Every structure is written in structure tokens, then in C-alpha cells.
Amino acid sequence: MAAKKLETPITLDEIDRLRSGETVSLSGVLIAARDAAHKRIVSSLESNQPLPFDLKDRMVFYLGPSPVPPGKTSGSIGPTTSARMDGLTEPLLKAGVRAFIGKGR
């Protein structure tokens, strides 16, 4: 079966059409963040401070830390454990985030 192709920003209608077990090919802009960034984003939302990016219909990638090797712009990128951000999920959903990508058990 071919992967279902999705591009961010993603709408609720597109999410509603997804089914458990489907393979998804995702492209577009992701917001990459982990614990400290989530706390800063939620703090900004709670104090009505503007963010430097739009959360509406976006996906957040729970990015694990990785050192940047000399001469490179980025280290390797991979998911970090999603459960650590559970307490910060609801405000992000209310601000328009549609999905999260991370690592489970």
C-alpha cells in the first residue's frame, strides 16, 4: 500500500481521514522542540506574547538533543520521549497545533 502523502500545515479534515496503521509520507515545515522550548512557548501563550512562528495547523516534532559537529549546521536529529511534554500538550492544541511526532515506550 502506498503511503498517504500529507504536507504541513495540516487541517483537521486531513487528520480525520487518517486511520490507525496507515503509512504517512510527511513534508513541509515542522516545529522542532523539546522540554525547555515547550515551556517557553506555553509561557508566551499564557502571557499573550507573540511567537516567532504560527502554531495553527502545525505539527510539533519532539526533537532529542544532539551536539553539532564542527563545520556542520546540525547534529543528527531524532525523536525524544513524548511523555515528558504531556503536561504542555493541551495549551499547544488550543493554540492550533494539530499533531505531535515523538517517541513512545
Residues annotated catalytic, as ranges: 38
Name the nearest CA neighbour of 11 among 68, 95, 103, 96: 96
Per-residue buried b or exposed e for 61-70, using 16+ beta carbons within 10 Å of the residue's own CB:
bbbbeeeeee
Q: Which residues does 72 contact at the CB level (< 8 Å), separation at least 6?
A: none
